Chain A
Amino acid sequence: MPALPLDELQLTEKDLLTGKLKTLPALHPEKKTERSFVLYKPPPKSRDPALLEEFLERARFIADDLDWLLALPHDKFWCQVVFDETLQKCLDSYLRHAPRKFDMAVDLAPEVNDLTKHLHRNVFLTFLRMSTHKESKDHFITPSVFGEILYNNFLFDIPKILDLCVLFGKGNSALLHKMIENIFIQQPSYFNDLDEIVPTVLQVFSNILYACGLRCEGASAEPQKLEERIRRTSPGDMSLQELKDIVLYLCDTCITLWAFLDVFPLACQTFQKHDFCYRLASFYELVIPELESVIKKRRHEDSSLLLDMWRRLSHSRKKVVEVFHIIIHQLCLQPILESSCDNVQPFIEEFLQIFTSVLQEKRFLCDCDELFSVADDVSLLQQASSSLDETRTAYVLQAVESAWEGTDRRKKNMTGPS
């Protein structure tokens, strides 16, 4: 007899209180075990033994509890995951607070390192199991019900998915890609949520600009308040701590966006619905030169801190350009490479529109061209379509050249043979 999906399975067992037999759905709150998962807190920055001991105790509890959870049979695992709020909070607290490698470095004792690794792996495996609707031939959930369970219980949400990409994407990208793809396939509402959070991402850009005393054109439709100009502080005048916070926020934002789109490029379409490439380029054009200039001017205040900020800013720049190119590649170049000659026109049009929208962002254009040659991309368009509008491509290439001419930089790999 074929096995039933977990969502249709009924189990009969003896009631411990009355001693009578009773039948309940396999997925039922009564089948949850009382376990009391604790919240994750990051390792202490200071060497206070009491704080360290508390961290170790918490981490040990969570690691052991997740060992137990992962060893549970399929039905018990899902009862726990769906109905145990302490487990959901515990996992969420890990995603929120687990240190990223690019955070300020903290020296950890070997004992902390071993436990941290154990915990890190267990959290990943728990999310992996939660994103798997078919664990074996006999243990599975109806795909549509699986999608509902994930979404209605907030087992995954967009911020959690972004955190997963930052924390686990480097070494486990193939597995993470499968997990996220499966979640979005079984529950397309996640695309709606993604669509909803893009304006918040853009608001984060605006907030960073605002904190730097800059304002992004078109970022906000609200009129400027009269006292606003007075309140704003330029990065040159702010305290080092404020400047550091801005750079850390910028760096985290850029790496998180990049890590997500790198693992799940299918999200690019949703981002670009909000004119994301243009917004990204104009954000870059405003914020990067301003922060670079301030860090250089203030280099004597605390050179090691400013050097660290410089590294973060440089890394953020690279990630912004890479995000831009992932979107271009996903929406334009990849479809052109995969399509027959008759179908490439809309993708070429999209490419030209995106580039035309960012041509005034000269610094961004140079940096983008340096990392991903615009001429190479245009050459791909030329090879794909014989009816390419050469006037428009020439206009784009000319704008890139003129952006270079406006700087005293030289293009890499552009010098002829010596």
Chain B
Amino acid sequence: MALPRLTGALRSFSNVTKQDDYSEDSADLKNKRSQLQEDLLHSDHSWKKIVKFIEENSEKENQPSLHGDLRTILQASKQIVGCENGQEAIESGAVFLFKTLYMKEYVGHEETKAIKQMFGPFPSSSATEACNAASRIASHFIQEQLIALLQAPELQTAVTQSCFGKNIAFSFDMHDLDCSEELPVNGKMDKQKLISLDY
């Protein structure tokens, strides 16, 4: 239950605030995940672009194994995204998995969080297979090539833009109860100083 607050009373009983209706917002997490997946579908990166890059920039003798790894990532994406979401969603998921995992030796805490945030609960074995395959693919290229391939246009804009407030000194200090109080209580100065209830 929410703690009783002065500002809660002011919101409820005065006319100075917007009376927002929060009742429709219970599904906001689900909507957010759908939104992220939709954004991924419309991002500039396509699975075909990655496949083309790999074909054009790798030695011919390595291509069968590289194609095998690409298939593994696609298969892992199918497990994580779900077949019912269609080929387009599976390919978008594969792009996301490749981008998230290509520089990682294993699926760590951060990667797990990122995948879960995007798709919800997922089979960890699929993520591990995708991670191994993505690392094997990445080992055939220099890092700069892959960064150039995968950096999103919106990310590039953000890097060139300075983030508001990055140089502002911010303090995390918050108002708290005092450790001791100076005021005496009902004439019992010494006892109050210790904030003791043993009268």
Contacts and interface: CB of A to CB of B under 8 A. Distances in A.
Verify that A and B bind, or say they do not. Answer: yes
Interface of A: 34-36, 38-39, 54, 56-58, 60-61, 67-68, 70-73, 77, 86, 88-89, 92-93, 95-97, 100-103, 117, 120-121, 124-125, 128-129, 135, 154, 157-160, 162-163, 166-172, 175, 193, 196-197, 200-201, 203-204, 207, 245, 248-249, 251-253, 255-257, 259, 289, 292-293, 295-296, 299, 303, 306-307, 310-312, 314-315, 317-318, 321, 367, 370-371, 407-410
Contact of B4 (A162, A249, A310): A249
Given A200-B10, A370-B184, A408-B187, A89 B178 contact: no
A57 B29 contact: yes
A241 to B, nearest CB: 10
Given A36-B31, A307-B195, A257 B184 contact: no
B13 A203 contact: yes
B116 interface: yes
B179 to A, nearest CB: 9
Given A200-B14, A296-B199, A410-B189, A162 B6 contact: yes
A201 B10 contact: yes
Contacts of B170: 121, 124-125, 171-172
Nearest to A113: B172
Given A171-B173, A296-B199, A200 B9 contact: yes
29 contacts: A38-B28, A39-B28, A57-B117, A61-B117, A70-B163, A93-B22, A96-B2, A117-B172, A129-B164, A158-B10, A159-B7, A159-B11, A166-B175, A171-B172, A196-B16, A197-B16, A201-B6, A204-B9, A249-B4, A253-B6, A293-B186, A295-B197, A296-B199, A307-B197, A310-B195, A314-B178, A315-B177, A315-B178, A408-B187
A96 B8 contact: yes
Interface in B1-37: 2-11, 13-18, 20, 22, 25, 28-29, 31-32, 35
B89 to A, nearest CB: 18
B32 A409 contact: no
B17 A159 contact: yes
Given A121-B170, A292-B185, A321-B183, 11 more contacts: A36-B28, A36-B31, A121-B172, A128-B168, A154-B18, A158-B10, A197-B14, A289-B186, A311-B177, A370-B184, A409-B189
A315 B183 CA distance: 10
A256 to B, nearest CB: 5
Contacts of A58: 29
Contact of B183 (A92, A168, A289, A317): A317
B158 interface: yes
Given A60-B113, A157-B17, A255 B175 contact: yes
B182 A318 contact: yes
B174 interface: yes
B61 interface: no
Main secondary structure of the interface of A (DSSP, over half): helix
A206 B96 CA distance: 57
Contact of B168 (A89, A125, A255, A410): A125
A101 B13 contact: no
A170 B25 contact: no
Contact of B3 (A67, A248, A293): A248
A196 to B, nearest CB: 6
B165 to A, nearest CB: 4
B73 to A, nearest CB: 24
A77 B15 CA distance: 28
A193 B16 contact: yes
Nearest 7 A/B pairs, CB to CB: A171-B171, A171-B173, A125-B165, A314-B181, A249-B4, A101-B174, A154-B18
B19 to A, nearest CB: 10
B175 A70 contact: no
Interface string B150-176: 000000001001011100101111111
